[in-house]
Structure 1
Amino acid sequence: MNRLHRRLHISAESIAEYASSIEAPLQRINGLLIAPAGMPIIFWKAAEIPWLPADCILIHGSQQFWYEAPITAGMTLDCELSLSKMEHKMGRQSRLTLYTHKLICKCDGSLIVTAETVLIGVGDEA
């Protein structure tokens, strides 16, 4: 299984909490709170990713976001996370596995954001 679907409701409280955690200012558009650009990473907390080894050390490699519209309070996002590539490499001290993920989030059928995230698994379990 290399594809996962989740529905996430984005509340004003969750935006304020996330913004506070990264010390980002709160911003509004048409009276609604706007989520900070990196907020789609909450998907990783909302779902257990079955293809990532449970006993593996994971390091955040990189992340990019492409927005079509801002995420605002009150949205319900339909999100699909997929594993688009897995590469094995030898590091200086151990084996590394690079997991490249694509996250697509839509609201009412309209694309809101696409994100690409690379996680690096360290060790033999990766």
Structure 2
Amino acid sequence: MNRIHHQVHITAEWISHYADSIEAPLQSIHGNLIAPATMPVIFWQAFDIPWMNMDTPLMHGSQRFSYEAPITAGMILDCELALTNVERKEGKRGVLTFFTHTLVCTCDGELIVTADTVLIRVGDDHEKTHNL
């Protein structure tokens, strides 16, 4: 399937800004701010995701995070975003296409977080889906 890589530098300011935007309390460990658990959702902004260049809007289906260690200020994360599954189903409003993505972030070779996200497209665009 499709895979792309990007390095993400985590700053205290970025953590603070994100925490404020979702009204999450700031926490720290060993003097470093800890990112809220959902922060990896905005890592997607750093990626140019060619398979997501669609004219049809997407809906958020589900999201799951699995942490091995907290994301803290000062980390440089090596992240890989992969399209791991594309599934078409008939729904009440027509064809639904489910795009499952997995984001894996490591720091210094150690796994930090795995985030699974399902995005849903309503409508039949078989041509674009087939090319994935």
The normalised TM-score by structure 2 is 0.90
Corresponding residue of 1:19 = 19
In 1, the alpha carbon distance for the partners of 2:96 and 2:49 equals: 18
Corresponding residue of 1:79 = 79
Give CA deviations for 1:54-80 in whole Å, capped at 9, x if unaligned: 212111100111101000001010000
Gaps of 5+ in 2: none
Q: Which runs of 4+ in 1 moved over 4 A?
A: none
Gaps of 5+ in 1: none
Corresponding residue of 1:2 = 2
Larger deviation, residues 79-88 vs 44-53? 44-53
In 1, the alpha carbon distance for the partners of 2:121 and 2:78 equals: 27
In 2, the alpha carbon distance for the partners of 1:48 and 1:58 equals: 16
Give CA deviations for 1:19-46 in whole Å, capped at 9, x if unaligned: 0110000000011000000001112211
Q: 1:122 to 1:53 in 2, by over 3 A?
A: farther
Provide the secondary structure at the position in 2 that maps to 1:54: coil
Name whichever structure is richer in helix by fraction: 2
In 2, the alpha carbon distance for the partners of 1:56 and 1:14 equals: 30
Provide the secondary structure at the position in 2 that maps to 1:106: strand
Root mean square deviation of aligned Cα = 1.2
**Cα deviation, residue 48, structure 1:** 2.4
- Contact preservation (8 Å) 1:103, 1:116: yes
- Number of corresponding residues: 126
Alignment of 1:1-126 (within 5 A): 2-125=2-125
The normalised TM-score by structure 1 is 0.94
**Cα deviation, residue 17, structure 1:** 0.6
Identical positions, percent: 63
- Contact preservation (8 Å) 1:57, 1:123: no
